[in-house]
Structure 1
């Protein structure tokens, strides 16, 4: 199978958003029926879109802060309709991805949704052969510097060799509206695990929590400035044990 080019990626994005119909839509239907990798990407984007809607909608029902109302008035005596205020507030929230949205996204009650994003990314990229990572482990210093800068917190690469896992490299992804890092490891049997890390703007903490989707088990937790998910096709006991190693690596 040839790698999709950027135009094909944009077509898949548009298809996921319901913006392609007619003959082009039917052609993509046929392609997705025979291309499980592309189909997985479309399904993941649709789930993320639904998750974003779920995260934003409750905020639009909250009272608009006085300072935002004031900013939306461009002259004395001018007021905006509730619908206009809601629309403007939505744009402000989207534009301030590290602000209100990050607080919603990384709060403890929604940590499960954070884990779901990490599992989707795990399922997509661990099945890649040539492009499983964006930056290889051989360029590890550049990788950690780059990802640390993007997520806004110091990133380390946990050493999991004692458990038989070799570091492959990593990539930049997204957790909703904010940057996230994915680190990938592989054992001698070619089984892969991933560590998904993003900034936790609330600084709230949780205990280790475990979730499972199909054959992927994930352990996730919030710890001060960062949120973590470690995922793999392994058992609960094994993934929690690996999570302890990751936790200790960031506590050093």
Structure 2
């Protein structure tokens, strides 16, 4: 009925479903299982990709996966009866669907319910959006340029954000300090320190005042499309270093920043 049978077999199946309650029940079960499975596996596609894997792909260091060989079975003769074949296919599909349902729902004793879960945006999502816009600016990369002096930038941002800090010196990492901006993320003021490397790529250090959540000082890597982010919490503030996803040294840079800032 999904285009895998002949017209004569399709008509026979439609006739069967129209007049046989058990066949109709099996069809409804299969359709419900398909919808549930599609929804469950669609959620898996939105899981973040590990930064190490993204970098390996971009740098061309991953090994090519082995091709799987598929052996086609000989087509069955049209003289065979359709109902045994349909029954066998139904049993196979129910086994697959039942196994998937058991794995995904073993923690639920009641009947499965369809739920809509909207992923809440975090301050990191806002930072990623800002970074994509400002990183493209050649003449207006920053709001306050480095030429105005680090003392003036520290006084301005510390009083606006409520976090004392030191501007990290990253020349040894190939980064030149360009200046700073004041942003708003998750409804809070955020300080943004901007750097540029010799290739013109823009890196940013962002931080805001926050309540302690989770283990202090632990670095967490995440991805936002073409951007890599390494975030952590320390002394009542949340920090993140943002850079190109292909940069393999971003975590090491974040370790330096977490110590110096």
TM-score tier, shorter chain, comes to 0.5 to 0.7
Residue of structure 2 in register with 1:240 after alignment: 251
> Could you say which structure has the larger radius of gyration?
2
5+ residue gaps, structure 2, are 1-118
Report how many residues are paired.
141
Aligned counterparts of 2:199 and 2:257: Cα–Cα separation in 1: 21
Structure 2 residue aligned with 1:225: 236
Q: Give the distance between the partners of 2:120 and 2:220, measured in 1 at CA.
A: 9
Structural mapping, 1:163-202, within 5 Å: 163-202=173-212
CA-based RMSD of the aligned residues comes to: 2.1
1:149 and 2:155 aligned: no
Deviation at 1:237, TM superposition (A): 3.9
Distance 1:111 1:169, change over 3 A: farther
Q: 2:127 aligns with which of 118, 130, 141?
A: 118
CA distance in 1, matches of 2:227, 2:154: 26
TM superposition shift of 1:203: 6.4
Are 2:136 and 1:127 equivalent residues in the alignment?
Answer: yes
Structure-1 separation of matches of 2:212 and 2:239: 14
Distance 1:112 1:246, change over 3 A: farther
Deviations 1:162-197 (A, max 9, x none): 110000000110122211111100011111101111
Q: What does 1:6-155 align with in structure 2 at a 5 Å threshold?
A: 113-139=122-148, 140-155=150-165
Structure 2 CA distance, aligned partners of 1:244 and 1:218?
Answer: 12
Q: Are the equivalent residues in 2 in contact too, given 1:200–1:225 (CA < 8 A)?
A: yes
User: 1:173·1:180 contact (CA, 8 Å) conserved in 2?
Assistant: yes
C-alpha offsets along residues 201-225 of structure 1, whole Å, 9 cap, x if unaligned? 3465352111112221111111121
Partners of 1:214 and 1:236 lie apart in 2 by: 13
CA distance in structure 2 between the aligned counterparts of 1:112 and 1:242, rounded to whole angstroms: 25
Could you report, residue by residue, the CA deviation over 1:217-237 in whole angstroms, capped at 9, with x for unpaired residues?
Answer: 111111121111111114364
User: Relative to total residues, which structure has the larger helix share, 1 or 2?
Assistant: 1
Which 4+ runs in 1 deviate beyond 6 A? none
Q: Is the 8 A contact 1:210 1:236 kept in 2?
A: no
5+ unaligned residues in a row in structure 1: which ranges? Answer: 1-109
The answer on whether the counterparts of 2:161 and 2:189 sit within 8 Å (CA) in structure 1 is: yes
- Cα deviation, 1:118-166, whole Å, max 9, x if unaligned, reads 2111111111111110000111221111000011121221111111000
